[in-house]
Amino acid sequence: MSQKKKNTSREKQKRKLLKTFGSTRKDYDREPKDKSVSYICRQCRAVEEIPLEVVEQFDWLDGGDPHDPPRFSCQVCQGEMIPEYFRGATGVLYDNRYLRVESLH
Protein backbone atom coordinates (compact mmCIF):
# COMPACT_ATOMS: atom_id res chain seq x y z
CA MET A 1 0.00 0.00 0.00
CA SER A 2 1.39 3.36 -0.93
CA GLN A 3 2.13 6.01 1.69
CA LYS A 4 -0.50 8.40 0.30
CA LYS A 5 -3.20 5.75 0.38
CA LYS A 6 -2.20 4.76 3.92
CA ASN A 7 -2.48 8.38 5.14
CA THR A 8 -5.87 8.79 3.45
CA SER A 9 -7.11 5.63 5.11
CA ARG A 10 -5.95 6.85 8.52
CA GLU A 11 -7.65 10.20 7.99
CA LYS A 12 -10.91 8.43 7.11
CA GLN A 13 -10.66 6.31 10.24
CA LYS A 14 -9.93 9.37 12.34
CA ARG A 15 -12.92 11.27 10.92
CA LYS A 16 -15.17 8.25 11.45
CA LEU A 17 -14.10 7.92 15.10
CA LEU A 18 -14.54 11.63 15.74
CA LYS A 19 -17.97 11.54 14.13
CA THR A 20 -18.92 8.51 16.21
CA PHE A 21 -17.96 10.24 19.43
CA GLY A 22 -19.50 13.55 18.36
CA SER A 23 -16.35 15.61 18.71
CA THR A 24 -14.20 17.49 16.27
CA ARG A 25 -11.71 18.31 19.03
CA LYS A 26 -12.01 22.00 18.16
CA ASP A 27 -12.90 22.85 21.76
CA TYR A 28 -9.90 20.96 23.13
CA ASP A 29 -7.22 22.09 20.70
CA ARG A 30 -7.54 25.83 20.90
CA GLU A 31 -6.97 28.30 23.66
CA PRO A 32 -9.96 30.34 24.78
CA LYS A 33 -10.15 33.68 22.99
CA ASP A 34 -10.98 35.57 26.16
CA LYS A 35 -8.51 35.24 29.00
CA SER A 36 -11.04 36.80 31.39
CA VAL A 37 -14.66 36.39 32.43
CA SER A 38 -17.05 39.32 32.69
CA TYR A 39 -18.68 39.52 36.10
CA ILE A 40 -21.75 41.65 36.69
CA CYS A 41 -23.07 42.92 40.02
CA ARG A 42 -26.63 41.91 40.83
CA GLN A 43 -27.30 45.21 42.63
CA CYS A 44 -25.60 48.07 40.80
CA ARG A 45 -24.89 46.22 37.49
CA ALA A 46 -21.20 47.19 37.56
CA VAL A 47 -19.10 45.02 35.25
CA GLU A 48 -15.62 43.75 36.08
CA GLU A 49 -13.25 41.52 34.13
CA ILE A 50 -11.80 38.69 36.25
CA PRO A 51 -8.93 36.58 34.86
CA LEU A 52 -10.13 33.19 33.61
CA GLU A 53 -7.44 31.41 35.62
CA VAL A 54 -8.73 32.93 38.88
CA VAL A 55 -12.35 32.03 38.07
CA GLU A 56 -11.38 28.45 37.22
CA GLN A 57 -9.43 28.09 40.48
CA PHE A 58 -12.39 29.35 42.51
CA ASP A 59 -14.66 26.98 40.59
CA TRP A 60 -12.45 23.98 41.48
CA LEU A 61 -11.94 25.08 45.09
CA ASP A 62 -15.65 25.68 45.68
CA GLY A 63 -16.46 22.01 46.26
CA GLY A 64 -20.05 22.93 46.99
CA ASP A 65 -23.12 22.92 44.81
CA PRO A 66 -22.10 22.81 41.13
CA HIS A 67 -25.13 24.94 40.29
CA ASP A 68 -23.66 27.90 42.19
CA PRO A 69 -21.11 29.82 40.12
CA PRO A 70 -17.90 31.25 41.57
CA ARG A 71 -18.83 34.64 43.05
CA PHE A 72 -16.98 37.80 43.97
CA SER A 73 -17.84 40.98 45.88
CA CYS A 74 -18.51 44.18 43.96
CA GLN A 75 -15.94 46.89 44.62
CA VAL A 76 -18.56 49.61 44.04
CA CYS A 77 -21.45 48.54 46.30
CA GLN A 78 -20.20 45.33 48.02
CA GLY A 79 -23.00 43.40 46.30
CA GLU A 80 -22.65 39.93 44.84
CA MET A 81 -21.02 39.60 41.42
CA ILE A 82 -21.80 36.60 39.23
CA PRO A 83 -20.32 35.55 35.87
CA GLU A 84 -22.07 36.93 32.84
CA TYR A 85 -21.25 33.80 30.80
CA PHE A 86 -19.02 30.95 31.99
CA ARG A 87 -18.87 27.16 31.63
CA GLY A 88 -17.70 25.64 34.92
CA ALA A 89 -15.39 22.68 35.48
CA THR A 90 -18.39 20.37 35.93
CA GLY A 91 -19.77 21.42 32.54
CA VAL A 92 -22.56 23.58 33.98
CA LEU A 93 -23.14 26.71 31.90
CA TYR A 94 -23.75 29.91 33.84
CA ASP A 95 -25.51 32.32 31.49
CA ASN A 96 -26.49 35.60 33.13
CA ARG A 97 -26.27 37.84 30.07
CA TYR A 98 -29.83 38.96 30.70
CA LEU A 99 -28.54 41.09 33.60
CA ARG A 100 -26.56 43.32 31.24
CA VAL A 101 -29.53 43.64 28.88
CA GLU A 102 -31.78 44.63 31.81
CA SER A 103 -29.32 47.31 32.88
CA LEU A 104 -29.45 48.92 29.42
CA HIS A 105 -33.22 49.49 29.60
What's the full length of the chain, in residues? 105
29-64 tens-digit pLDDT:
444 566 999 999 999 999 999 999 999 888 888 766
Q: Report the alpha-carbon distance of residue 41 to residue 6 in Å, rounded.
A: 57
The number of angstroms, rounded, from the C-alpha of 75 to the middle of its chain's C-alpha atoms is: 24
Cβ(102)–Cβ(73) under 8 Å?
Answer: no
DSSP H or E stretch at residue 89: none
Instruction: State pTM to two decimals.
Output: 0.62
Q: What is the pLDDT of residues 60-80, one digit of tens each?
A: 887 666 778 889 999 999 999
